[in-house]
Homo-oligomer: A and B are copies of this chain.
């Protein structure tokens, strides 16, 4: 007889360290912990309901992802959100997404493409209603699904790490109507290329899409900077 109650036994067992990693990553990506915030171990450990040891392990883990910076004998800070870093991240992310797009065109099942198309229509709906937060959610899901369709877990992991940095910048990108429309149009073309399984085209579209995204993020960062200077 099968053991239906047992299927989750291994997956469920989460280490405190991992939940701390996820919580802390969320805090950073959501901007709850602003860039360059000092991570006080005692305070943070209390806030997350653990002791310093698992928290320190989590900090080391996130340091490897580049979300926090370690300062010898001075603890750790949330990684600064520098324009130069953003440029670098977008260049790498462009290469990874382009690769993923190409692979997805070869490997995706028809059902996967249908799913992505469905997500796309959801996104269109939220765009039409001007619902930015939900638009972003579906947008992220679409990109995530394209990566997953590439069928390369190593690529997916590298992408996630890079994308975390982009997500962090997202909350300060106030999409102007014009830019938003353009982004949607680009998505339209991407879905088309994916449906036609035109890898070369999708690759190019993803590159352009990310390049435009970078421009928006850079403008937002510039705006934040001038705002901070006044």
Chain A interface (Cβ < 8 Å from any Cβ of B): 10, 13-15, 17, 53, 56-58, 60-66, 70, 72-73, 85, 88-89, 91-92, 95-96, 98-99, 103, 152-155, 157-158, 161-162
Name 16 extra pairs, CB < 8 A, besides A17-B60, A92-B96, A95-B98: A13-B72, A15-B70, A53-B53, A56-B57, A60-B61, A61-B64, A62-B64, A85-B154, A88-B152, A88-B155, A91-B152, A92-B154, A92-B158, A95-B95, A95-B96, A158-B162
**Distance of A10 Cα from B157 Cα, bound (Å):** 32
Tell whether, in the assembled complex, residue B85 and residue A91 are in contact, meaning their CB atoms are under 8 Å apart.
no
Tell whether, in the assembled complex, residue A72 and residue B14 are in contact, meaning their CB atoms are under 8 Å apart.
yes
The residues of B that contact A66 with a CB separation of less than 8 Å are: 154, 157
The minimal Cβ–Cβ distance linking A162 to chain B, given in whole angstroms, is: 8
The residues of B that contact A17 with a CB separation of less than 8 Å are: 60
Protomer copies: 2
Tell whether, in the assembled complex, residue B155 and residue A92 are in contact, meaning their CB atoms are under 8 Å apart.
yes
Tell whether, in the assembled complex, residue A92 and residue B99 are in contact, meaning their CB atoms are under 8 Å apart.
yes
Known: A15-B70, A15-B72, A64-B64. A89 touches B57 (CB 8 A): no
The minimal Cβ–Cβ distance linking A66 to chain B, given in whole angstroms, is: 7
For A85, give the chain B residue with the smallest CB separation: B154
Tell whether, in the assembled complex, residue B56 and residue A152 are in contact, meaning their CB atoms are under 8 Å apart.
no
Tell whether, in the assembled complex, residue A13 and residue B98 are in contact, meaning their CB atoms are under 8 Å apart.
no
**Distance of A17 Cα from B153 Cα, bound (Å):** 28
**Distance of A92 Cα from B162 Cα, bound (Å):** 13
The minimal Cβ–Cβ distance linking A3 to chain B, given in whole angstroms, is: 19
**Distance of A155 Cα from B158 Cα, bound (Å):** 11
